[in-house]
């Protein structure tokens, strides 16, 4: 099975968009090779703008392009955009609903060796708090590719959270169906139920969902009889905003329990958003797994970081055991 990154999925989709949509333009803040947009730059130099290490200007300029009918993709790392240019996104993009797509890579602990400065763990909080913003977290290469194409068709600001390292493909995970067959198509604004279950709703987003998949596999095949008989529903909530309330509420009504897993601060992320939804609509026992009010650090492999910060499959299994007793 080939491993590919979500940022590669984004970059390949951008090249495709260059060919099929003349209004698509790309704005780079000196990270073109990291965002995999160099092919677009070579093929469509008239529609590629390099603004240097200047994220504020990149965003303002994208707003101007969008207000004139272009579809700009503003590309950088999440720890710079939206961190440095949040006020520009708020005023020049979200307030006038400018059709700007923000593509930000190197999000989460998954950034690994670069360390805390580069591991964006607060970007989802910054983005989903803004009115008019759509927030999408693709879990794999295919989803990033598809999300990019769909974002270009939508009218309004979209934040695409991308990641650095190569991952497996969700489409290869289809319990009960033939391998490679996707049970439900990726569509922005709609959750994907990757596996149905009746005892617990497990919700995740981004490549860390593979830790949740691993936990479910261990639970179903492992030696613990209690875990073996738990039926877990796994939801890929790739769109944090607007949240697919219907699918989530329907699921927890069935299971009565909810566990969320994300590569982001607990405050203001996926779990927090779902907690706001459920506490006011259908309160159930809930656990939110994420980074708990601390910064990341360097490690050579992201697996080491997921273990250190209590977000690997072992930690997920522990949370499953705890919540199932509720």
Q: How far is the CB of 57 from another protein (least distance, A)?
A: 4
Check: CB of residue 118 under 8 Å from CB of residue 81: no
Specify the residue, 69 or 176, whose C-beta has the smaller distance to another protein: 69
Specify the residue, 46 or 223, whose C-beta has the smaller distance to another protein: 46
Q: Are strands 239-241 and 134-136 parallel, antiparallel or unpaired?
A: antiparallel
For another protein, the binding residue among 96, 156, 256, 310 (CB under 8 A) is: 96
Number of residues that bind another protein (CB under 8 A): 29
Q: How far is the CB of 39 from another protein (least distance, A)?
A: 20
Check: CB of residue 320 under 8 Å from CB of residue 230: yes
Q: How far is the CB of 71 from another protein (least distance, A)?
A: 11
Distance CA(298)–CA(246), nearest Å, equals 39
Residue 226: both structure tokens together:
């209690």
Distance CA(209)–CA(139), nearest Å, equals 7
Q: How far is the CB of 93 from another protein (least distance, A)?
A: 9
For another protein, the binding residue among 87, 113, 226, 276 (CB under 8 A) is: 87
Specify the residue, 64 or 285, whose C-beta has the smaller distance to another protein: 64
Distance CA(282)–CA(204), nearest Å, equals 19
Specify the residue, 62 or 313, whose C-beta has the smaller distance to another protein: 62
Sheet order of strands, 24-28 included:
48-50, 24-28, 71-77, 101-105, 158-161, 134-136, 239-241
Category of 322 on φ-ψ map: left (φ > 0), alpha (ψ -120 to 50) or beta: alpha
Residue 183: count of CB within 10 angstroms of its CB: 15
Residue with tokens 């951008």: 14
Q: Which residues ranging from 15 to 74 are in contact with another protein (CB under 8 A)?
A: 25, 46-47, 49, 51-52, 54, 56-57, 59-70, 72
Residue with tokens 């650090």: 297
Specify the residue, 53 or 113, whose C-beta has the smaller distance to another protein: 53
Specify the residue, 90 or 257, whose C-beta has the smaller distance to another protein: 90
Specify the residue, 20 or 178, whose C-beta has the smaller distance to another protein: 20
Q: How far is the CB of 99 from another protein (least distance, A)?
A: 12
Q: Give the binding range for another protein (CB under 8 A) out of 90-98, 186-194, 220-228, 263-271.
A: 90-98
Q: Does 92 bind another protein (CB under 8 A)?
A: yes
User: Among residues 105, 80, 97, which one has the least CA distance to residue 157?
Assistant: 97
Q: How far is the CB of 245 from another protein (least distance, A)?
A: 29
Check: CB of residue 194 under 8 Å from CB of residue 234: yes
For residue 4, the 8-state DSSP code is B
Q: Where are the alpha helices (DSSP H) in 101-161?
A: 123-128, 141-153
Q: Which residues bind another protein (CB under 8 A)?
A: 25, 46-47, 49, 51-52, 54, 56-57, 59-70, 72, 87-88, 90-92, 95-96
């Amino acid at each position: 099975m080939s491993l590919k990154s979500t940022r590669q999925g984004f970059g390949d989709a951008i090249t495709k968009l260059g060919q099929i949509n003349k209004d698509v333009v790309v704005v780079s803040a000196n990270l073109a090779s990291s965002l995999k947009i160099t092919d677009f730059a070579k093929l469509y130099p008239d529609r590629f703008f390099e603004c240097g290490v200047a994220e504020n200007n990149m965003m303002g300029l994208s707003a101007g392009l969008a207000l004139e009918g272009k579809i700009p993709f503003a590309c950088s790392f999440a720890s710079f955009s939206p961190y440095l240019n949040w006020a520009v996104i708020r005023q020049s993009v979200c307030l006038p609903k400018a059709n700007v797509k923000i593509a930000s890579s190197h999000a989460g602990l998954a950034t690994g060796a670069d360390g805390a400065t580069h591991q964006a763990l607060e970007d989802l909080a910054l983005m989903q708090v803004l009115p008019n913003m759509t927030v999408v977290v693709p879990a794999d290469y295919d989803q990033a590719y598809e999300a990019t194409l769909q974002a270009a068709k939508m009218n309004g600001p979209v934040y695409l959270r991308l990641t650095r390292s190569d991952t497996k493909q969700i489409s290869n995970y289809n319990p009960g169906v033939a391998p490679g067959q996707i049970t439900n198509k990726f569509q922005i604004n709609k959750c994907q139920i990757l596996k149905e279950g009746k005892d617990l709703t497990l919700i995740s987003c981004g490549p860390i969902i593979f830790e949740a998949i691993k936990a479910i596999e261990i639970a179903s095949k492992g030696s613990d009889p209690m875990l073996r008989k738990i039926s877990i529903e796994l939801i890929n909530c790739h769109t944090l905003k607007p949240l697919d309330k219907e699918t989530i509420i329907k699921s927890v009504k069935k299971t009565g329990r909810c566990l969320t897993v994300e590569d982001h601060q607990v405050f203001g992320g996926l779990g927090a958003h779902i907690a706001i939804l459920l506490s006011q609509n259908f309160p159930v026992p809930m656990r939110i797994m994420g980074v708990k009010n601390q910064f990341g650090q360097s490690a050579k492999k992201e697996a080491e970081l997921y273990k250190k910060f209590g977000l690997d499959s072992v930690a997920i299994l522990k949370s499953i055991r705890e919540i199932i007793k509720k």
